[in-house]
């Protein structure tokens, strides 16, 4: 090979710097030149402050030190998401990062739970899940490493300040060979013949050319959307929320090891506890509530003093028809947007990065099988998350216009029939790839009031009194285990105390 392959990342938000960091770890040492163009004039969105457990894999993949990373990003731990008023007002459940129960007999645990529930001898599903019971007591511990212990049957994620995460990764990446180019992009140059992106030109007149471009420019989708004309596949008929207002408030005593999502009249409100403050936001449908009213609702529902004015964001649910077109991949908001109801934004960036690393072309010309595969797997990721989000919306009482609207829409084919199958026998299809696994579907179905009418008949083989005994013993073990964990606040204060900002 002659000159090195040149990769240019456009945009330096969370997506841009995550991508840069991965390149620093895996491509720069393999001889690829990587530059990141960003402008300090342009702000980043940075709402994705709650994450999924896969983020730990990403940090491990980079080789980040967990304690250092958590201190640098004011991070706290997350065992799941609490959904309040979903299904109907007054209800609450946690979608945990873990499974329910443990093996009871030859059928799966959930089938036994259904049977016991129908017989009136089961506690609520949450009581058989260690991370949920622990979370509700505001306690936290790391998995204890013993495969036979309920205190190992979970994973955890983080709440973090995405802006600080980007800044942390920037420092990390710049010492590992990523060249940062400061400047506002004023023009994108395309190759006349192939249509590929040739270079971006900055306000300073500087021209940054490359073989391959990663578009991390946010909602503007500067390269993929604006320049290459890849349209957004509009999903707003299923997910009509198109606005959000975000506001931080002072940290409260209630330092939860979980994100909270509270259903509201025209959307839902998030609450994300960080070490230095609590992040809040109201995601809503502008057709169903005014901005002013949304702001008032948000500010009236904080558990600490507001630290800023609410900031308004506009978006549309959907994904770019192609995540990779020509010599350009769109990541993060440049590639698509799904509301943060299940904290999937950073996960989607992470998946795009991991697939990009393995599918990146190596020289001149792009083998069409590479973008075909990238686009196929990203479509799977987006479609699966979309369906799971829609499930949250449709499994609800239609008690306000937005909720009437969403429960009346025609579902994607991939979601049709799933509710009936679950109700009939607790059936959930296990996917080969992508989010979310059966325990997640079980959590949302049951949590929002859709309970199976019958269980797998294999669960009938175990004598009823034995089943009741085993379930009771399991719940007791979990309660005991949860009680042995320190409080989340103490754990964080000892493990990864962040400096005051």
Write out the residues near other proteins by the rule CB under 8 A: 5, 26-27, 29-32, 357-362, 367-370, 372-373, 376, 417, 420-421, 424-425, 427, 429, 431-433, 454, 456-458, 460-461
Torsion of CA 462, 463, 465, 469, to 10 degrees: -20
> In this complex, which beta carbon is closest to other proteins, that of residue 401 or of residue 438?
438
Q: What is the Cα–Cα distance from 341 to 157, expressed in whole angstroms?
A: 15
Greatest Cα pair distance in the chain: 78
Beta strands in 321-370 (DSSP E): 324-325, 328-330, 336-337
Q: Is 310 left (phi over 0), alpha (psi -120 to 50) or beta?
A: beta
Radius of gyration of the chain (CA): 23
Closest contact distance (angstroms) between CB of 107 and other proteins is 10
CB of 469 to other proteins, least distance (A): 20
Query: Which tokens sit at 53?
Result: 């457990």
Name the E strands within 257-310.
Answer: 259-264, 267-273, 278-284
In the complex, the smallest distance separating the C-beta of residue 453 from other proteins, rounded to whole angstroms, is 8
Catalytic residue among 26, 78, 319, 418: 78
User: Least distance to other proteins from the beta carbon of 432, Å?
Assistant: 5
Q: Helix 345-359 to helix 369-394 angle, to the nearest 10 degrees?
A: 170
Active site residue 316: no
Q: Detail the DSSP E strand segments found in 318-463.
A: 318-320, 324-325, 328-330, 336-337
The smaller minimum CB distance to other proteins, of residues 161 and 456, is found at 456
CB closer to other proteins, 65 vs 367: 367
Show the CA angle centred on residue 411, arms to residues 407 and 417, nearest 5°.
100
Q: At what angle do helices 369-394 and 401-408 cross, to 10 degrees?
A: 130
Select 335 or 452, whichever has its Cβ closest to other proteins.
452
66 vs 373 by CB, closer to other proteins: 373
* Helix residue ranges, H only, 395-463: 401-408, 418-425, 438-447
Distance of closest approach, residue 424 Cβ to other proteins, in angstroms: 5
**Structure-token pair, residue 17:** 């710097």
Q: 111 exposed, middle or buried (CB, 10 Å; 0-12, 13-18, 19+)?
A: buried
47/455 with CB nearer other proteins: 455
What gap in Å lies between CA 337 and CA 320, rounded to an integer? Answer: 9
Rounded CA separation 348/382 (Å): 8
In the complex, what is the shortest distance from the CB of residue 372 to other proteins, in angstroms, rounded to a whole number?
7
Q: How far is the CB of 24 from other proteins (least distance, A)?
A: 12
Catalytic residues: 78
């Amino acid at each position: 090979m002659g000159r090195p392959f040149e990769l240019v990342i456009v945009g330096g938000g969370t997506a841009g710097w995550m991508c840069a960091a991965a390149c620093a770890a895996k491509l720069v040492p393999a001889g690829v030149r990587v530059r990141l163009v960003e402008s300090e004039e342009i702000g980043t969105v940075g709402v994705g402050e709650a994450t999924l457990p896969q983020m730990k894999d990403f940090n491990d993949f980079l080789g980040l030190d967990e304690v250092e990373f958590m201190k640098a990003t004011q991070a706290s731990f997350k065992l799941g998401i609490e959904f309040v008023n979903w299904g109907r007002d007054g209800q609450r459940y946690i979608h945990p990062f873990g499974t329910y129960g443990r093996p009871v007999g030859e059928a799966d645990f959930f089938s036994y739970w259904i049977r016991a529930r129908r017989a009136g001898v089961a506690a609520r599903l949450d009581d058989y899940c260690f991370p949920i019971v622990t979370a509700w007591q505001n306690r936290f511990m790391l998995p204890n490493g013993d495969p036979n212990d309920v205190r190992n049957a979970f994973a955890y994620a983080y709440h973090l300040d995405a802006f600080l995460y980007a800044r942390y990764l920037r420092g990390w990446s710049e010492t590992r060979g990523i060249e940062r180019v400061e400047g506002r992009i004023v023009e994108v140059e395309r190759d006349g013949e192939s249509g590929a992106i040739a270079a971006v030109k900055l306000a300073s007149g500087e021209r940054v050319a490359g073989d391959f471009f990663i578009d991390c420019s946010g909602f503007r989708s500067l390269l993929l959307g604006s320049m290459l004309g890849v349209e957004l596949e509009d999903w707003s008929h299923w997910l009509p929320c198109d606005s959000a207002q975000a506001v931080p408030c002072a940290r409260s005593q209630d330092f939860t090891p979980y994100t909270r999502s509270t259903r509201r009249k025209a959307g839902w409100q998030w609450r994300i506890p960080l070490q230095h403050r609590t992040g809040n936001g109201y995601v809503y449908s502008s057709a169903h509530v005014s901005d002013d009213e949304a702001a008032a609702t948000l500010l009236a529902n904080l558990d600490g003093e507001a630290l800023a004015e609410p900031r308004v964001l506009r978006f549309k649910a959907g994904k770019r028809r192609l995540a990779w077109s020509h010599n350009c991949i769109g990541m993060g908001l440049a590639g698509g947007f799904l509301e943060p109801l299940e904290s999937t934004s950073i996960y989607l960036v992470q998946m795009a990065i991991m697939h990009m690393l393995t599918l990146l072309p190596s020289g001149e010309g792009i083998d069409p099988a590479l973008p075909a595969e990238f686009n196929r797997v990203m479509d799977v990721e987006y479609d699966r998350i979309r369906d799971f989000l829609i499930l949250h919306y449709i499994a609800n009482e239609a008690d306000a216009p937005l909720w009437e609207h969403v429960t009346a829409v025609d579902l994607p084919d991939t979601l049709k029939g799933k509710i009936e199958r679950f109700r009939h026998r607790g059936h959930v299809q296990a996917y080969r790839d992508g989010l979310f696994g059966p325990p997640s579907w079980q959590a949302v179905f049951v949590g929002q009031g859709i309970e199976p009418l019958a269980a797998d008949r294999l669960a009938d083989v175990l004598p009823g009194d034995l089943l009741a005994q085993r379930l009771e013993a399991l719940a007791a073990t979990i309660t005991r285990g949860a009680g042995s964990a320190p409080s989340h606040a103490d754990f964080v204060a000892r493990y990864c105390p962040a400096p005051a900002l």
